[in-house]
Amino acid sequence: MSLEWQARSGSLAWSNPVSWWWGVLTLVSGVNIAVWFVLYGELPVLATGSAGSTASVGVMLLFCAAYVFGCAFRSFLPRADVQRICLFDTWWSSVLVGRTVATVAEICFVVQWAMLLHQLGTMTGAETTVNAAWVIVPLILIAECLSWYAVLTRNYLGNAIENSLWAVAFFIIGAGLCRLLPEFHGAVRVMLAIAIAGIAGFLAFLMTIDVPMYLNRWRTGDADGDKRLTPREGLRDVSTRWVVTHDLAEWKDEIAWMSLYFSLAVWSSLALCVFYALENHLPQYRTEAAIVSGASSTTVVGTR
């Protein structure tokens, strides 16, 4: 079976803004990979929790690696799934490969958040945070299924719903972190506040720019002639057809979200590893009210 590809206008010379964008993406991704290796060498593989349980930082680093290296792969070989466009004429730029890498990376990313929320929720007895940890992974699994539906059928409505589910998942994460604010003081509370502010900014981006963009494309039929496919037709299409283009007009709507995604989102994944590894140091940042509350609960349980 011969692979089908097309080429469109534009060159990847440095006079082309797309070349500069791609260069920055690759540079940032290279730095992100280097930072991951530094964390791998510096963070303890095992961290003994305050409750006597052993939490594996190594597992967190493994999930982080899937996200960091997955995003780096997508930076080196950018592509837009529904449009089937890419920068380089290689099968590795096919949507089948890229979407598979993205799916694994994104699931690993949300598992990182679930691990951290479960760790902090268990430590503080915050049921809201623990429940958030259990809810977000199934939500993102559904979102990934919708992403594949959109990619295979070339229907942007799937992308709009997918990113709406990401918004719901991060709203839940934000709620779980807000529940933890009264439990800590000092640097830990500041870090939680920064994370909550970052999530608020991410939600604003999703709901004012990202989701409306996909809804507009869905309404206008902006998918290379609005040629919808069945899932079976789409499976062959994503594995055999890609369109090489260096035209800024075709990439301009992808540049904003890709730039943020392959930088800020990856940095948050790396930060999750650091925060998760600090479990032994977190008790000293517990507020007095939280400690008294926890001691009172222990006393009541002990007298029953």
SS (H, E, C) the chain: CCCEEEECCCCCCCCCHHHHHHHHHHHHHHHHHHHHHHHHHHCCCEEECCCCCEEEHHHHHHHHHHHHHHHHHHHHCCEECCCCEECCCCHHHCHHHHHHHHHHHHHHHHHHHHHHHHHHHHHHCCHHHHHHHHHHHHHHHHHHHHHHHHHHHCCHHHHHHHHHHHHHHHHHHHHHHHHHHHHECHHHHHHHHHHHHHHHHHHHHHHHHHHHHHHHHHHHCCCCCCCCCCHHHHHHHHHHEEEECCCHHHHHHHHHHHHHHHHHHHHHHHHHHHHHHCHHHHHHHECHHHHHHHHHHHHHHHCC
Q: What is the mean pLDDT of residues 57-84?
A: 95
Quick check: 6 pLDDT over 70? no
Stated pTM of the model: 0.88
pLDDT reported for residue 290: 57
pLDDT reported for residue 46: 59
pLDDT reported for residue 300: 47
pLDDT reported for residue 226: 58
Q: Is residue 287 one of the residues assigned to a domain?
A: no
Q: Is residue 253 one of the residues assigned to a domain?
A: yes
Residues 155 and 226: their CA atoms lie apart, in Å, by 8
Residue type, 244: V
Task: Quote the domain boundaries for residue 25.
Answer: 4-282
Burial class (CB in 10 A: 0-12, 13-18, 19+), 266: buried
Q: What is the mean pLDDT of residues 58-69?
A: 96
Q: Is residue 292 one of the residues assigned to a domain?
A: no
Q: Is residue 156 one of the residues assigned to a domain?
A: yes
Tally of CB atoms within 10 A around 77 = 19
Q: Residue 223's pLDDT band (boundaries 50, 70, 90)? A: low
The total number of structural domains in the chain stands at: 1
Q: Could you report the per-residue pLDDT of 78-127, keeping only the tens digit for each?
A: 999 999 999 999 999 999 999 999 999 999 999 999 999 999 999 999 99
Quick check: 7 pLDDT over 60? no
Q: Residue 12's pLDDT band (boundaries 50, 70, 90)? A: confident
Q: Could you report the per-residue pLDDT of 154-197, keeping only the tens digit for each?
A: 999 999 999 999 999 999 999 999 999 999 999 999 999 999 99
Q: Is residue 294 one of the residues assigned to a domain?
A: no
Distance, CA of 261 to chain centre: 7
Q: Between residues 47 and 31, which one has the greater pLDDT?
A: 31
Q: Is residue 104 one of the residues assigned to a domain?
A: yes
pLDDT reported for residue 50: 44
Burial class (CB in 10 A: 0-12, 13-18, 19+), 242: buried
Quick check: 30 pLDDT over 90? yes
Q: Could you report the per-residue pLDDT of 228-266, keeping only the tens digit for each?
A: 899 999 999 999 999 999 999 999 989 989 999 999 999
Quick check: 291 pLDDT over 70? no
Q: Is residue 290 one of the residues assigned to a domain?
A: no
| CATH number of the domain bearing residue 133 | 1.20.1070
Q: What is the mean pLDDT of residues 49-77?
A: 83
Name beta bridge partners: 4: 241
Residues 222 and 142: their CA atoms lie apart, in Å, by 24
Q: Between residues 70 and 302, which one has the greater pLDDT?
A: 70
Quick check: 295 pLDDT over 60? no
Q: Residue 221's pLDDT band (boundaries 50, 70, 90)? A: confident
Q: Is residue 304 one of the residues assigned to a domain?
A: no
Q: What is the mean pLDDT of residues 288-295?
A: 57
